[in-house]
Amino acid sequence: MARKFFVGGNWKCNGTAEEVKKIVNTLNEAQVPSQDVVEVVVSPPYVFLPLVKSTLRSDFFVAAQNCWVKKGGAFTGEVSAEMLVNLDIPWVILGHSERRAILNESNEFVGDKVAYALAQGLKVIACVGETLEEREAGSTMDVVAAQTKAIADRVSNWSNVVIAYEPVWAIGTGKVASPAQAQEVHDELRKWLAKNVSADVAATTRIIYGGSVNGGNCKELGGQADVDGFLVGGASLKPEFIDIIKAAEVKKSA
């Protein structure tokens, strides 16, 4: 079974209601490959989720950028998985490097979040990736394997998980992993899944790349055998996000 190309747009902490409406209009008018070729998910800040959900075209889906690690309650400022389910938000991004680094979310905490969100019926984009220091020390795979293991230890059904490999040194820096660098880590990650989870999970789980993806580099990155799509940051706020979605065609013609 071929893995369906996946393109996620992480809007991060950006936007006003007016800007969000403009982005949605651009997406709604875009000519993109059909749903059987590419799955498109956009992730606005919490406050804009209902607005985007109610106005976005029906063949694109919406993700939250985070959710709480367990049932809601006395956790001021947090949003629970149950609330997202209640709003019919199908996806959530968990373990983004910005949250790991700035908010000190540990591998275990992220693993717990992924397991809880899945148990509530959400689909999860789980982020992994190494820092520049870790890459230069040659420990990329150790870091990414430990991050993935914390999820694998808590999750038995991977059908609703997409792994996003995002080298921290490439996020928002303009430095992009070369297609060969991306392919190498994706291939190693898939081998890790085959060895530590199952051959089936390794073959079917989508591993997408994130880190300064743009209209200019998306086709070459997307053409790599084990790159199943993208998690796009800054470029997802611009019209070039459409070009990135269209990069899914490289798989169809392969």
**What pLDDT digit, counting tens, does each position of 176-187 carry?**
889 999 999 999
- Evaluate whether 222 touches 5 at the Cβ level (below 8 Å): yes
Catalytic residue among 105, 134, 166, 186: 166
Torsion-angle region of 99 (φ positive above 0: left; ψ -120 to 50: alpha; else: beta): alpha
The whole-number pLDDT of residue 176 equals 83
166 is catalytic: yes
Bridge partners, residue 8, by sequence = 41, 231
The whole-number pLDDT of residue 172 equals 79
186 is catalytic: no
d(CA 100, CA 165): 14
Which pLDDT band holds residue 253 (cuts at 50, 70, 90)? low
Nearest to 233 by CA among 178, 186, 181, 166: 166
Q: For residue 187, give both structure tokens.
A: 């291939």
Catalytic residue among 96, 98, 105, 186: 96
Nearest to 239 by CA among 7, 23, 15, 69: 23
**What pLDDT digit, counting tens, does each position of 70-116 carry?**
999 999 999 999 999 999 999 999 999 999 999 999 999 999 999 99
**What pLDDT digit, counting tens, does each position of 121-173 carry?**
999 999 999 999 999 999 999 999 999 999 999 999 999 999 999 999 988 78
For 133, counting Cβ atoms within 10 Å of its Cβ (0-12 exposed, 13-18 middle, 19+ buried), the class is exposed
User: pTM higher than 0.85, yes or no?
Assistant: yes
